[in-house]
Every structure is written in structure tokens, then in C-alpha cells.
A and B are shown apart, each in its own frame.
Chain A
Amino acid sequence: KAGVTQTPRYLIKTRGQQVTLSCSPISGHRSVSWYQQTPGQGLQFLFEYFSETQRNKGNFPGRFSGRQFSNSRSEMNVSTLELGDSALYLCASSPGDGNVNIQYFGAGTRLSVL
């Protein structure tokens, strides 16, 4: 089975721009979660989508949004980029319907905001 695929791997943007990141989960997985990782804050939960619906949300401003498509692929959008948005953005998939939630991560998208 193919793993979680994130595109692009690297992005450079300037302040005020917007960006869209993509995540293809493991085949059969219906849950996709997004995380932001920075040296200072560690791995912070952004949101989780399950069957095209946002099921959980972290404590991030509304500039961060996401969606999930019927094939479980997910996109994350960040609008009006700020310098502090520079981070490694990770997505993780899981079956989503069990009583445990093991996260299978992609390699991440490294976003640099200049």
C-alpha cells in the first residue's frame, strides 16, 4: 500500500500571500489530520477531517482552513501568510472509525514565509 503523500515538499511564499497544501491518505483511510510543527511549539494539531466533514479543530486562527474530498484526499489552505507561519506542515491519515487512532504521517511540506 502506498503511504501518505504530501505535495509540494517545499514552498517559499511572501507575507500576505496564500498557500494550498495537498495530502493523499493511505488507501482506505477516511480520516486526515493536519499538524503544524515548529522548533518552538512542537507538533500542534490543526484539524481533522473524516468523510468530508471537519470532526476536530485545534486552536489556530481562521486563516487556516481545510477540506476533504470524496476520495478522502485533503487540502489545507493558509491565507494572508505571516512570517510565523513558516513551519513543517504534516498530514496524517488513519482509518478513523476504530477506538484507537494511530497516525500515519506523510513526509510533510516545508513552508517558508519571507
Chain B
Amino acid sequence: SQKIEQNSEALNIQEGKTATLTCNYTNYSPAYLQWYRQDPGRGPVFLLLIRENEKEKRKERLKVTFDTTLKQSLFHITASQPADSATYLCALPKYSSASKIIFGSGTRLSIRP
């Protein structure tokens, strides 16, 4: 069955450094992959989408890569700030239905000043 794995432990990064989060998946061939940010007690907020034929996508300080051979996506935040502290979720469409989205368990990121 399909499985999505993210760094299970929290990631602590010094302000100003680059944070790198990992999303691995198995038994999938998704047409695209998404990243969301979730703050405590709130719903996730969409950040970026990358398609299977794209290697890299950027938005301001965010960068996402998508390696369909390794079945892995990396999510980078450059020049990290304490305000970037949140849980980050990757998400993929269920193989049999593009409208059904499956989320990873998320990685909690903490940026210390």
C-alpha cells in the first residue's frame, strides 16, 4: 500500500540557516506533490506544488525538489526565521483518484534565534 514518510522527529535549526525537510513515498507514482504549513490549532496552509516533470520549484525563500527515481521530495527554507517555526506536511494524490489527497505525518520545525 502507499506510504508517505517524513522526518518523524522535530528539527531544530539556528536562525539564518537553511532548513531541509524530507518526504519519502513508496508504492506511488504521483503526478504531483504538495507541501503545506500548519500552525498549532489551525488548518494546514498550502505552500507549493511540484509536478512529476519538474525537478525544482521556488517561491521566495522556499525551494522544493522532486526526484521521482528516489521517490523523494526535499523542502528547503533558506535564511530561516523564528516565524518559520511550524509543522510542515507533504501531500500526494492517491494513485487511483487525483481528488483524494494523502498527507504525511509532518515534521515539526523550530527555528531558534
Q: Is the CB of A104 within 8 A of B46?
A: yes
Main secondary structure of the interface of B (DSSP, over half): strand
Residues of A within 8 A of B106 (CB): 42-43
Chain B residues 56 to 113 lying within 8 A of chain A, measured CB to CB, are 89, 91, 93-94, 97-106
Sorting the interface of chain A by its residue count into under 10, 10 to 19, 20 to 34 or 35 or more gives: 20 to 34
Given A42-B105, A42-B106, A43-B103: A106 in contact with B43 (beta carbons within 8 A): yes
Q: Which of A48, A50, A105, A108 contacts B45 (CB 8 A)?
A: A105
Q: How far is the CB of B37 from chain A (nearest CB, A)?
A: 11
Q: How far is the CB of A107 from chain B (nearest CB, A)?
A: 6
Cα of A48 to Cα of B102 in the assembled complex, Å: 12
Number of chain B residues close to chain A: CB under 8 A: 25
Would you call A45 an interface residue if the criterion is a C-beta within 8 Å of the partner chain's C-beta atoms?
Answer: yes
Cα of A105 to Cα of B89 in the assembled complex, Å: 13
Residues of B within 8 A of A22 (CB): none
Q: How far is the CB of B75 from chain A (nearest CB, A)?
A: 16
Would you call B32 an interface residue if the criterion is a C-beta within 8 Å of the partner chain's C-beta atoms?
Answer: yes
Q: Is the CB of A42 within 8 A of B42?
A: no
Would you call A101 an interface residue if the criterion is a C-beta within 8 Å of the partner chain's C-beta atoms?
Answer: yes
Q: Which of A42, A48, A100, A106 contacts B100 (CB 8 A)?
A: A48
Would you call B24 an interface residue if the criterion is a C-beta within 8 Å of the partner chain's C-beta atoms?
Answer: no
Q: Which 4 A-B pairs have the closest CB atoms?
A: A105-B43, A42-B105, A43-B103, A56-B100
Q: Which B residues contact A (CB, under 8 angstroms)?
A: 31-32, 34, 36, 41-46, 49, 89, 91, 93-94, 97-106
